[in-house]
Amino acid sequence: MDGVEKVLKEVSYILTHPNLTIAVNTEASNVWSTDRKQFDAVVRTTVRNNLET
């Protein structure tokens, strides 16, 4: 179980500390670094919309 726990911790870290210098989606990268509240709101809306379909 130690291996699984390590992988989950690493994935969690990657999701909370993205490498913005190699971002594929530059618009999202810019919003992440300049307006985190807006980024979070867009993500929430996108997830809700995708869950409803």
pTM of this prediction?
A: 0.66
Question: If you write DSSP's letter for every residue of 28-50 in order, what string do you get?
Answer: HHHHHHH-HHHHHHHHHHHHHHH
pLDDT for 53: 72
Q: How far is CA 21 from the centre of its chain?
A: 14
Q: What is the per-residue pLDDT for 45?
A: 96
The answer to whether 46 touches 31, Cβ cutoff 8 Å, is no
Residue 1 pLDDT: 62
Amino acid 47: pLDDT: 94
Q: What is the pLDDT of residues 1-53, one digit of tens each?
A: 689 999 999 999 998 888 888 989 999 999 999 999 999 999 999 999 999 87
pLDDT of 37 reads: 97
